[in-house]
C-alpha cells in the first residue's frame, strides 16, 4: 500500500490477518492455495482461481471433510491454517470426494512418506493426523478407526499427536466412550426391532410404525416402477463398507461419515444388487444412514461452536480506557 507524503500509514489493528486455506471445486482433485481476510474476499478469489462463471453465484464454501457450511467470518478465521474447502456454485450440493481412496484429508506428501511403514501403522497414523487437525472428527470416524486409535500404545499416540501421555490416555478413554455409546445404541435398536416384530406377529403394530413401513414400501415400489432406467453396474462403496452393511446390525453406527454419505447417494437398485437385498430393505438402510449422518453433522457443529466460544472466553479482554477527567 502506498503512503502519500505527509500521510499516515494505516493503524496496525486495521489490517486484517490473512487466513491460508486450500480451495477446490466439487468432484475435483486439483486444489489451490488461497489466503483471504474474510469470506467475501475468499468467494471472490474462488470465482477467479476456479474459473467459476459469475452467473453461477452466490458461492457457498463448505469443509471438504464433512460438508459443513462456512458462512461466518469468525468461524472462518478460527479454522486451522490450510483447511481444505470446497466451493459450490449456485445450487450445487457437496458430495464426498472418494477419488483419492477415502483419504482426502491427507496430503499426498505425507502419505508417500509413510509408505515405508507397515499397513497397520500407516492406518493409525493417518487417523491420528485427522484427529490432530480437528478433534471434533471423533464424531465422524468409523468404529474401525475408533478401535484402531484405542489399540495404539499410549506412548506412540502421544508422540504422534505431540501431547502428554496423560492427555492421550484421556483421549483414548473418550474414544472408548464414543465406541461404547454406539454399541449401546445398536443394542437398543435391536431390542426395539425385536419388540416391533413381536407386536407385528400379534397384529398390534403401533399405527406410527405401520404408517412408516407403508411409506417405505411405497418408496421402494416407486423405485421399482422406474425400471426403464439403466441400473448402474457398480457402486462407489469400499468392500469394507459393503461388508459392514451386510454383516453388522445397525450398520450406520459402524461406518464413517464419508461412507454414510456414499451410501445415501447410491442408487437403491444398484446398492440392492450389490448386497443381494430387496429394495425395501435397502431403502430402510439408506434412510437410517441419512439420519445418522445428519445427527453427526449436528454434533460436529455443536462441538465446534462450543470450542469457538471457549476460545473467545479464554482470550484476554481488551484494556478499558480510563475516562478523561474534566479540567
Is the full-model pTM beyond 0.75? no
Taking only the tens place, the pLDDT of each residue in 81-108 is: 888 898 888 777 777 654 443 334 333 3
Taking only the tens place, the pLDDT of each residue in 4-46 is: 444 454 444 456 678 889 998 887 778 888 888 898 999 888 8
What's residue 133's pLDDT?
81
Tell me the domains of the chain and their CATH numbers: 17-89 (3.10.20.10), 108-180 (no CATH), 205-311 (1.10.1490.10)
**One-character DSSP codes across 49-110:** HTT--GGGPSEEEEETTT--B---HHHHHHSPTTEEEEEEETT-------TTSS-TTS-HHH
Ramachandran assignment for 90, one of left (phi > 0), alpha (psi -120 to 50 degrees), beta (any other) = left
Residue stretches of the chain with pLDDT short of 50: 1-7, 9-13, 98-117, 225-229, 231, 320-322, 326-327
Q: Give the 3-state secondary structure percentages of the chain, helix then strand then coil, rounded to 5.
A: 60, 10, 35
Rounded to the nearest integer, the mean pLDDT of the chain is 76
Amino acid at each position: 500500500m502506498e503512503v502519500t507524503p505527509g500521510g499516515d500509514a494505516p493503524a496496525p489493528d486495521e489490517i486484517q490477518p490473512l487466513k491460508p486455506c486450500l480451495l477446490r471445486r466439487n468432484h475435483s482433485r486439483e486444489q489451490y492455495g488461497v489466503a483471504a481476510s474474510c469470506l467475501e474476499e475468499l468467494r471472490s478469489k474462488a470465482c477467479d482461481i476456479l474459473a467459476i462463471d459469475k452467473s453461477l453465484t452466490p458461492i457457498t464454501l463448505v469443509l471438504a471433510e464433512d460438508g459443513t457450511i462456512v458462512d461466518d467470518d469468525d468461524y472462518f478465521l478460527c479454522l486451522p491454517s490450510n483447511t481444505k474447502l470446497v466451493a459450490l456454485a449456485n445450487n450445487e450440493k457437496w458430495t464426498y470426494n472418494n477419488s483419492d481412496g477415502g483419504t482426502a484429508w491427507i496430503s499426498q506428501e505425507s502419505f508417500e512418506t509413510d509408505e515405508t511403514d507397515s499397513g497397520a501403522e500407516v492406518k493409525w497414523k493417518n487417523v491420528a493426523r485427522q484427529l490432530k487437525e480437528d478433534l471434533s472428527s471423533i464424531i465422524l470416524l468409523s468404529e474401525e478407526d475408533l478401535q484402531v486409535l484405542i489399540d495404539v500404545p499410549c506412548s506412540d499416540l502421544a508422540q504422534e499427536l505431540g501431547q502428554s501421555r496423560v492427555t492421550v490416555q484421556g483421549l483414548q478413554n473418550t474414544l472408548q466412550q464414543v465406541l461404547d455409546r454406539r454399541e449401546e445404541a445398536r443394542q437398543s435398536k435391536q431390542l426395539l426391532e425385536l419388540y416391533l416384530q413381536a407386536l407385528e406377529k400379534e397384529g398390534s403394530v403401533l399405527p406410527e410404525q405401520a404408517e412408516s413401513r407403508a411409506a417405505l414400501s411405497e418408496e421402494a415400489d416407486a423405485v421399482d416402477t422406474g425400471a426403464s432406467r439403466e441400473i448402474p453396474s457398480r457402486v462407489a462403496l469400499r468392500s469394507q463398507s459393503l461388508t459392514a452393511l451386510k454383516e453388522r446390525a445397525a450398520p450406520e453406527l459402524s461406518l464413517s461419515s464419508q461412507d454414510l454419505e456414499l451410501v445415501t447417494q447410491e442408487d437403491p437398485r444398484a446398492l440392492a444388487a450389490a448386497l443381494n437385498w430387496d429394495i425395501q430393505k435397502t431403502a430402510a438402510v439408506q434412510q437410517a444412514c441419512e439420519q445418522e449422518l445428519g445427527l453427526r453433522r449436528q454434533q460436529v457443529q455443536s462441538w465446534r461452536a462450543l470450542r469457538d466460544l471457549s476460545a473467545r472466553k479464554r482470550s484476554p479482554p481488551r484494556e478499558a480506557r480510563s475516562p478523561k477527567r474534566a479540567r
